[in-house]
Amino acid sequence: MEGIVVKNLSRDFAYYEKEAGMKSSVKNLFHRAKQIRHAVKNLSFEIQKGEIVGFLGPNGAGKTTTIKMLSGVLYPTSGEVQVNGYVPWERKKEFKKQFAYVAGQKSQLWINLPAVDSFALNKSIYEISDTQYRQTLGELVELFGVQEFLKVQVRRLSLGERMKMEMIAALLHRPKVILLDEPTIGLDFIAQNNIREFLKDYNRNNGATMLLTSHYLKDIEELCQRTMVISHGNLVYDGTLEQIQDVFSNRRILNIHWNSPVQKEALVSLGTVKSWEPMRAAIEVDDAAVAQTIHRLFAMFSVGDIGIDAAPLEESIARLYEQGA
């Protein structure tokens, strides 16, 4: 079966704690209290072939741990995973040939070499034919516009350039499943956009399955039809981003411009004042109270202009994050 199936996946880590100070350092030499952290708890989901799924969650939620288990770099404590029908941690050659792992924070290239040498190495590791290699490389290099950097040692490249090289290296063998761990971290918005466009293209042209983690909502918004939110190792949401908004935000923001200055104190009775300047204000209210509040505003003040926005998506997601605790 193509796609990703995860059933009751759990992963615990053992670690040791040390109290501050010299005395406990000595004590720790002889006895260390072992602690267990449940990084991933009983995670289950399915990803269809060709789907792009976003994986959201605060730092330490278990995103990277999950991705590592899906790529076979980590054994689970319990549970099952199948990626295109393979169990990742058996690390079968056929499996490795059809997936790619891209990590924004850990280079998959040989940093002392120019990128083009790393590509050549990948070519022979994945046993890519000369024609396919030339064609794919040509396409990818043109798409990213990195022709001039191919022969520069990777360690001398800027983060954005390096990341583009990482993507090229990961996709040379035309993987069917791509696991991306924060591919856009630390990039400027142009480079982020490049990477996003590129992934979209690749997905469209190759029907590849993708799971990607990111802290940038824009990545998820633009790329993913579906979003999973994980918090404290639990899957707390699985659906579209818009739905998060609907389910979790019954709050609206009224952006008002006045014709004459209005004091902040005069607004407190109407709702939560999010921002205030003499000539304008933003007030958060319950969506049921929107109409009534607007009525009162018009009755009380001279309103020049008024706009109604949904509460920012970040706030809804932040609420989701809290749920997993």
Partner 1 sequence: MKKYKTAFFVGVSNSMEYRFDFFMNLLSTVFPIIMQVFIWCSMYNGSDGETMYGYTFPQMIMYVVVAGAVGKFTNTGVEYMVNEDIHSGGIAKYLVRPVNYVGFCLCNIVGNKFASMITMVFVTLGALLVLFFAVDFVAAPAALLLFFPSLALAAVLNFYIFFCLSTLAFWLTEIGNFFHAISVVIMVMSGGVFPVSVFGSAYETISRYIPLTYTINYPIRILSGAVGAEEAVKVLCIQLIWIFILAVLARCSWNLGLKKYVAVGG
293 binds partner 1 (CB under 8 A): no
Name the residue nearer to partner 1 (CB basis): 107 or 245: 107
Residues 229-248 interacting with partner 1 (rule: CB under 8 A): none
Write the interaction track for partner 1 spanning residues 85-104; mark x where CB under 8 A is met and - where it is not: ----x-x-x--xx-xxx-x-
176 binds partner 1 (CB under 8 A): no
Name the residue nearer to partner 1 (CB basis): 121 or 150: 121
317 binds partner 1 (CB under 8 A): no
Residue range at the interface with partner 1 (CB under 8 A); choices 65-73, 203-211, 215-223, 238-246: 65-73
71 binds partner 1 (CB under 8 A): yes
301 binds partner 1 (CB under 8 A): no
Write the interaction track for partner 1 spanning residues 113-142; mark x where CB under 8 A is met and - where it is not: x---x--xxxxxxxx---------------
Beta-carbon contacts of 213 under 8 Å, excluding residues fewer than 6 positions away, are 54, 55, 56, 57, 63, 64, 67, 180, 181, 182
For 160-176, b/e burial (b = at least 16 CB within 10 A) is bbbbbbbbbbbbbbbbb
Q: What is the DSSP letter of 40?
A: E
Helix axes 189-206, 130-144, angle to 10 degrees: 140
Contact 49, 85 (CB under 8 A): no
75 binds partner 1 (CB under 8 A): yes
Give the DSSP per-residue string, 2-70: -SEEEEEEEEEEEEE---SSHHHHHHHHH---EEEEEEEEEEEEEE-TT-EEEEE--TTSSHHHHHHHH
163 binds partner 1 (CB under 8 A): no
Q: Which residues bind partner 1 (CB under 8 A)?
A: 13, 65, 68, 71-75, 89, 91, 93, 96-97, 99-101, 103, 106-108, 110, 112-113, 117, 120-127, 153
